[in-house]
Amino acid sequence: MDWILIWEIVYSVLLVFVCLKAIYDTGSNTKALAYVLSIIFLPFVGMVFYFVFGTNYRKRKIYSRKLLADDNQSKKLEAAIQRKSLSIIEGGNETVQLHKGIARLLLKENMSPLTGGNKVELLINGELKFPRVLEVLKAARHHIHMEYYIYEDDEIGRTIEEVLKQKAREGVEVRLIYDDFGSRSIRKKLVPRLKEAGVQAYPFYEIIFLAFANRLNYRNHRKIIVVDGRIGFIGGINVSDGYVNPSKAEKLRQRKRKRFWRDSHVSIEGAGVHYLQHLFLCDWNFCAGQTIAPNGDYFPRLNGNTGPEGKYVQIAASGPDSDNPTILFSLLQAIHQASHELLITTPYFIPEQAVIDALSIASLSGIKVKLLVPGKSDSRIVNAAARSFYGELLDVGVDIYLYQKGFIHAKTLVADKSLSIIGSANMDYRSFDLNFEANAIIYDEAFGAELAKSFYEDLEGAVKLDAFQWERRFWLQKLLEKTVRLIAPLL
């Protein structure tokens, strides 16, 4: 009996300590409550879960983002970026003027420059992305830098592998960063083949057994390619056959119907690529343990296109290493600055309360808000959590569409057919707080109109939710969704 009493006292003290730690270390009240509930109602398991997934790396930086070791040199570069970007902000087109709040935010938070004169191409699905990527990779002269969450050892993965090995043999510097969890299928065979051919390849935040849990939770979700510091790619499409939809003839030959995969990516040619290069080199120096100093080979002087086709581009990036959830802030700013229309596509909709409030305010203010999400997610739990948010948005007039043609994996936002955001970040807690993410922001009416057109074409393969019918769903289903929502911050 004495041992039982001692054990109960020890457990009670430990329980109180872990709960207080979760409350103290967690910035979000909602997330803190979710951790506390799991700690209390799941004995020991909840505590383990908190220590695995709950460490606040926004306070305990995983790594420094400094690219230049010399502080004086860094300050001079930052001052030059500030001057140039502020000049472009003040002298930019009408879209830049309307959304200068976002431009200033990213300049201050990320030191991400606003650049003009870029050529931007929208790439719908892997069918358009991969041929363009292969074309650019084959033309590389100095370096190829690739950073991916998922890289698979399949047909498209091996096709790109052969190009990378050939370019390395030609003397081109080829570097690959792969997420050690998302790209685990390439560790044993594909990566050694690349290294044997002279390609430098490193996992980002390698998963080591003793640190397995924490490292598993913090993932590099970026999809970045930079070639010769001149052309770059960013978006939601990983390197995998799953992102390429087979033609009708191929489907007949295979005699199986793969679910249609809808995704979006962009290629950028111009100075807008330089911040992608900055992100890559910071990540590379961290995971490879090297110190690659920036120079003219990696950041060449580029003559921007000053004609009407030249576009203003800025990159938003955030992760556990950033002081604030910059991507979340940029999305909120885009929502707040919209004047008549917001078109949002996301595969995983488990938003912060601030996002729900922003969308509600926009809709109640007369702004047409349309949200496109998967009809059926690739995760039942995530799908249930997402569905728990729909009712309150429908009540304030937000139009919600469930994609039926297949699975929609694109992460895009178009405000007033002029400001466009496209990248790797989902509209969920994980992308805002835990993952390393990157989005491209394009301040341009022509591109905004093109992305909006793509959005409306996607609506043809979707069904619109009816607020009345949604409210009349079986009460048990709604209870289940709201119960799952309690752990939404942990998904």
> Do 117-313 and 326-490 agree at the fold level?
yes
Provide the residue ranges of all domains of the chain, joining segments of one domain with +.
Answer: 2-53, 117-313, 326-490
pLDDT digits (tens, 9 = 90+) for 28-53: 676 777 778 878 877 877 777 777 66
CB 112 within 8 A of CB 314: yes
CA proximity to 470, closest of 357, 352, 362, 391: 391
- If pLDDT is split at 50, 70 and 90, which confidence band does 70 have? very low
**Amino acid, res. 238:** N
Q: Look at residue 212 in the predicted model and tell me its pLDDT.
A: 46
Angle, vertex CA 234, rays to CA 379 and CA 292, nearest 5: 115
Q: Look at residue 210 in the predicted model and tell me its pLDDT.
A: 41
Q: What is the CATH code of the structural domain delimited by 117-313?
A: 3.30.870.10
Distance CA 232, CA 269 (A): 6
CB 268 within 8 A of CB 442: no
400, pLDDT greater than 50:
yes
Q: Look at residue 271 in the predicted model and tell me its pLDDT.
A: 92
CA proximity to 143, closest of 303, 286, 294, 305: 294
- Counted residue by residue, the chain has a size of 491
83, pLDDT greater than 60:
yes
Tokens 């078109």 correspond to what residue?
343
pLDDT digits (tens, 9 = 90+) for 296-339: 899 998 776 656 668 999 999 988 777 888 999 999 999 999 99
pLDDT digits (tens, 9 = 90+) for 171-225: 999 999 999 888 988 988 999 999 999 999 999 877 654 444 444 567 889 999 9
Beta strands in 220-282 (DSSP E): 223-227, 231-235, 260-262, 264-269
Q: Look at residue 53 in the predicted model and tell me its pLDDT.
A: 61
CB 419 within 8 A of CB 94: no
**Amino acid, res. 347:** P
Beta-carbon contacts of residue 137 (< 8 Å; ≥ 6 apart): 144, 160, 163, 164, 167, 225, 227
Q: Does CATH place domain 326-490 in 3.30.870.10? A: yes
128, pLDDT greater than 90:
yes
CA proximity to 92, closest of 312, 270, 305, 310: 312
Q: Look at residue 77 in the predicted model and tell me its pLDDT.
A: 67
For residue 11, the SS3 value is helix
Tokens 């304030």 correspond to what residue?
396
Catalytic center residues: 221, 223, 228, 409, 411, 416
- If pLDDT is split at 50, 70 and 90, which confidence band does 73 have? low
The arithmetic mean of pLDDT across residues 363-383, rounded, is 88
